[in-house]
């Protein structure tokens, strides 16, 4: 299957690969898996006191489209509020990356990862607890497949 130029660009030059300290109170961590293929995406956001996402990082073990989707959303969420980040739809990601129908689930993974990261951040703000089950999962590395 041929990947679009946009996917290849993000795949070859992924933005914001890495991780924050998941125990940092300003960080939210989302880790999601795709049942269809077993690929895994870990997306983290760093949120400032005004509730704006200042930075984001990801690690994805998955296909080129999953890596491109996560790379793209780390760019998109920067400078956005949590609610604005939650408004990002997988259809926007799929359109930006020109994903074919068979790769739509890769963009869904990215949307789910944002939602999970925001939910993690909010729940930890609410409880005041730094550690979560999600953040204790082993990190996964970007894949080359």
Q: Candidates 31-39, 42-50, 85-93, 127-135 — which segment interacts with ligand FES by CB under 6 A?
A: 31-39
37 binds ligand FES (CB under 6 A): yes
Phi–psi pair at 52, nearest 5 degrees? -105, 140
Token code pair at residue 81: 């509020």
**3-class DSSP assignment, residue 59:** strand
63 binds ligand FES (CB under 6 A): yes
Residue 118 in contact with residue 28, Cβ under 8 Å? yes
Residues in the interface with ligand FES (CB under 6 A) total 12
CA distance 130 to 116: 16
Among 53, 73, 94, 106, interactor with ligand FES by CB under 6 A = 106
Q: Is 37 a catalytic residue?
A: yes
14 binds ligand FES (CB under 6 A): no
Residue 87 in contact with residue 25, Cβ under 8 Å? no
Among 65, 71, 74, 90, interactor with ligand FES by CB under 6 A = 65
Among 93, 109, 113, 116, interactor with ligand FES by CB under 6 A = 109
Q: Is 106 a catalytic residue?
A: yes
What is the C-alpha radius of gyration for the chain, rounded to an integer number of angstroms?
14
CA distance 52 to 46: 8
Hey, which residues are catalytic here?
37, 106
Q: Using CB under 6 A as the criterion, which residues of the chain lie in contact with ligand FES when the complex forms?
A: 34, 36-37, 39, 62-63, 65-66, 103, 105-106, 109
């Amino acid at each position: 299957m041929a990947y679009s130029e946009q996917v290849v660009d993000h795949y070859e030059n992924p933005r914001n690969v890495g991780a924050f300290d998941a125990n940092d109170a300003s960080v939210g961590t989302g880790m999601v898996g795709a049942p269809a293929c077993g690929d895994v995406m870990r997306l983290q956001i760093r949120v400032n006191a005004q509730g704006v996402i200042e930075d984001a990082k990801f690690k994805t073990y998955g296909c080129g489209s999953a890596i491109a989707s996560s790379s793209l959303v780390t760019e998109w969420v920067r400078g956005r509020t949590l609610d604005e980040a939650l408004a990002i739809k997988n259809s926007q990601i799929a359109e930006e990356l020109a994903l074919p129908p068979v790769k739509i689930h890769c963009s869904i993974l990215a949307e789910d990862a944002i939602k999970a990261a925001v939910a993690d951040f909010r729940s930890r703000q609410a409880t005041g607890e730094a550690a979560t089950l999600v953040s204790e999962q082993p990190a996964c590395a970007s894949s080359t497949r």
